[in-house]
Structure 1
Amino acid sequence: MENTLWPYALALYARPGVTQACLTLQGAGADVCLLLTGAWLGSRGITLTIERRRLLEIVAAPWRATVVEPLRVLRTYWKPAAQTDTALAALRERLKQLELDAEHELLTRLEQASVGWSLTAQPDPAGWLAALAGPAGTAEPGALDTLTQAALHV
């Protein structure tokens, strides 16, 4: 693919307000990797269908549940103690890198799932983001709007 998902996700995540918007949506139950993928697909003009959305969710769910979330839970659990324990702080940083590596792998899997999906004439990240955010998008419309607007400018 000409415009791969990982560099796009990094560029989008670096845009003003996006990190906080993603964390807000994640706190409301959304999968940030799915959101970054949806922004990428929508920005490229890939047509949203129920089948495509479901496929991405099926790809993401087991990796998120068995790899990404356990790393995130442990990293979060260690945070208070790591503030006063330098050895634990160093381990927590390594764990943080593992979590990022796991998210990178998930984005690679999501990109592979979308290989061959045809482009349309108009970019539409809003449709993809709303569909993939689910109830979190309704609960946090400002965060979803921030992400949508940023996706239009990556």
Structure 2
Amino acid sequence: MKTHKLVWMLVLVASSLACSKKEDSSVTPASKGVVTASVDGQSFTSEQATSTYNKTTKDLTLVGYNSVHMMGFTLEKLTGPGTITLVDISKTGSTGTYVDVKTNTTYTNKEGRTGTVTVTKFDGATVEGTFSMKVYNLQQKKEVVLTNGTFKVPVEAI
């Protein structure tokens, strides 16, 4: 269930951003977020990045993507800066996901793959920090390693 929740969140965010209408150039755009990482040794910089924070559950979901990669994580019970361990999707806790956009293949923290997210700033308007994780796709029997991840993304409270 947790895998589906995070995957659907990634799909919904990507769809809404990809389908949004072009802004009038006379209007100042909202603050744009960015996610960077190394994906199996290759550089990634997001074209779009967003995060939502549920004030009731204190869960933050962050997604960054471009035409090749989509990655993100859900941090449970986030209340401020700190280091959070990403756990296997079969356990309760924060977890991460990576999607190879070209093949539409989803990888998650499973089969013992974990990671960490260090939040250095969380003020309700912006979340910043670093991350790394190992994710796995059971059907492909393939692991993807995300390292040197950084994020600076505006937060939308829900």
TM-score by length of 1: 0.32
The structure richer in strand per residue is 2
Q: Which protein has the larger Cα radius of gyration, Structure 1 or Structure 2? A: 1
The structure with higher relative contact order (CA 8 Å, sep 6+) is 1
